[in-house]
Structure 1
């Protein structure tokens, strides 16, 4: 014979779920005036300091966090000032280089002016360039020789400067000592903006023995400006 289950007495309350830390946190968020009414609780809160593991008051811990935040902001500000100074210096060099190109009277001398300016003002160890499709008076010049159809097609395919390790590109052989080049930048020369679809009429090669000088992750804004300025100047050869 089955014993029937006794009915639940309405006088017995259901079990209460324990209060969790999340419940407490939510209560404090929803009750912003709690610590104003119970200031003694706030004053008695003790936290562990990250410096030495000693117990500190909540106010001391907040002060430590604030000092750390201020220190981080100071470091970011210093980085911004440093980058700003570096960018200003590069912009000044670009300005000087552009002036030198504008002051080059004979178009035949422009390729060498481009190379010399990059070596001198920007401390690039090795620089070379080639242009094609030039006017007849410049067709036999050294700077108009040695660019194969593959190089010309490669230059046209670039819509921004290529930066990275020396992978044995054909154009690297134009540099005075290609064997010493660990990183390089390849800048297409074309009329108009660098990213447009106009076929390139030249290629500028910058080489360095420093493997970190031209990295694939580096910003290329100034290199793009250099390529566009060089292109504008060298259009006189066409």
Structure 2
């Protein structure tokens, strides 16, 4: 009989939680309970009071927020730095165009900017449209590539980042562990790429699948515009 009575008055954790939520003034009316309640320390060092546990929980939340804020500031600073470099790159390209420099000068400018300003190990430029000046056809940038590769580049909706794709076999230095393939388009034709700018790095984490490509796209637009005058 005693056991049955005990079972009848037993309540679940959910019922306790529900009761406390529906009676928010419970602990005001029973304040002494707060000083009598002790919980296991989250750091495994015995028991602590409810108030201490709340303080620890609050500190943990603040610490998480501080880390998130620090990361946001870091990303903002990195984006500002990249934006400044893209701006400087665009000015270099405009100055080059204004001076009507030779095609090889433009290639060197692109390679040096990518390597020095954007920490890229190596750059490659491949163009499969014929140049306006037939003398440029002998330049390495206009060396024919297989159609499967040019079709793959054209099919990209955004720069490709990651390990070397099989379709680029024979084009990429084995020492490059991560790459970005940036398709190049004429302003009036965004459906068919006329070439590709390849950025390669010895760092396997430099260009990763899923990374943001906004600045790579901007660099591609700038290079495309600069190259269009030679096509």
TM-score band w.r.t. shorter chain: 0.7 to 0.9
Question: Are residues 1:151 and 2:146 paired?
Answer: no
Distance 1:122 1:71 in 2: 33
In structure 1, the residue matched to 2:35 is 43
Q: CA RMSD in A?
A: 2.3
What's the CA shift string for 1:172-213, capped at 9, x where partnerless?
62x5xx1211221111101349xx851001111111222222
Matched, 1:60 2:56: no
Task: Give the equivalent residue in structure 1 for 2:212.
Answer: 219
**1:111 alignment partner, SS class:** helix
Equivalent-residue separation in structure 1 for 2:37 and 2:55 (angstroms): 14
| Kept in 2: contact 1:187–1:203 (CA 8 A) | yes
Select 2:164's aligned residue among 150, 153, 166: 166
**1:171, CA displacement in angstroms?**
6.7
Larger radius of gyration: 1
Match of residue 116, structure 2, among 92, 117, 120: 120
Q: Give the Cα separation in 2 of the matches to 1:17 and 1:59.
A: 29
TM-score for the superposition, normalised by structure 1: 0.83
Residue 40 of structure 1, CA deviation: 1.3
Structure 2 spans left out of the alignment, 5+ residues: 1-6
> Which of 91, 96, 100 matches 1:106?
100
2 CA distance for matches of 1:146 and 1:69? Answer: 58
Q: Deviations over 1:39-68 (max 9, x none)?
A: 112232211111233221111110111111
Deviation at 1:111, TM superposition (A): 3.0
Counterpart check, 1:179 vs 2:174: yes
Partner of 2:196: 203
Secondary structure in 1 aligned to 2:174? helix
Residues in 2 aligned to 1:143 and 1:134: alpha-carbon distance in whole angstroms: 11
Alignment: residue pair count = 220
CA distance in 2, matches of 1:223, 1:172: 24
Please identify which structure carries the higher helix content. Answer: 2
C-alpha contact (below 8 Å) 2:148/2:167 kept by paired residues? no
SS at match of 2:125: strand
Consecutive aligned runs of 4 or more in structure 1 exceeding 6 Å deviation: none
Q: Give the 5 Å matches for 1:224-235.
A: 224-235=217-228
Within the candidate set 60, 78, 82, 1:90 is matched to 82
Match of 1:131 among 127, 133, 157: 127
Q: 1:77 matched to which residue of 2?
A: 69
CA distance in 2, matches of 1:208, 1:192: 28
Q: CA offsets per residue over residues 73-119 of structure 1, 9 Å max, x none?
A: 11111111111111111111111111111110326232332222111
